């Protein structure tokens, strides 16, 4: 039985195309090494159908298996270029509220030091 969700059914065409191209690149790497789908599935500890779904660019394919396939081809570091962290996010420091801080409480002198 296939997976159904609004996130998968509503995938943007550009995102779907990117998955398709990633699957084609993974397929090309497999063929260049002379490996069969069965051999790839065995190396990745997944079923042949799971591996086929990766090559077909299906949005339900496991990201973990895709990452393992890239690792097998010596290209897992390419994942580090996906969605780089904006410089603004690096400079912003998240602050968590203390558990005992209630709303309407006055700010102490120690909390003013920033």
pLDDT one-digit tens code per residue, 72-85: 999 999 999 988 88
CA 96 from centre of chain: 27
Instruction: Please classify residue 50 by burial: count the beta carbons closer than 10 Å to its beta carbon, then call 0-12 exposed, 13-18 middle and 19+ buried.
Output: middle
Mean pLDDT of the region 56-71: 94
Q: What is the mean pLDDT of the chain?
A: 84
Domains and CATH numbers, the chain: 6-91 (1.10.260.40)
Kindly tell me the sign of the dihedral angle through the C-alpha atoms of 54, 58, 62, 63: positive
Q: Flag whether pLDDT at 1 surpasses 50.
A: no
Of all residues in the chain, what percent are helix, strand and coil, respectively (each to 5)?
55, 0, 45
Taking a C-beta distance cutoff of 8 angstroms, is the pair 98, 54 a contact? Answer: no
């Amino acid at each position: 039985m296939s997976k159904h969700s609004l996130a998968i059914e509503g995938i943007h065409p550009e995102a779907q195309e990117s998955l398709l191209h990633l699957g084609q690149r993974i397929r090309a790497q497999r063929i260049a090494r002379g490996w069969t789908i069965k051999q790839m599935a065995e190396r990745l500890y997944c079923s042949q159908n799971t591996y086929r779904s990766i090559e077909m660019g299906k949005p339900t394919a496991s990201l973990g298996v895709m990452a393992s396939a890239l690792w097998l081809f010596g290209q897992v570091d390419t994942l580090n270029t996906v969605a780089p962290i904006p410089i603004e996010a690096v400079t912003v420091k998240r602050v968590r509220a203390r558990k005992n801080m209630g709303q309407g409480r006055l700010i102490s002198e120690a909390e003013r030091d920033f």
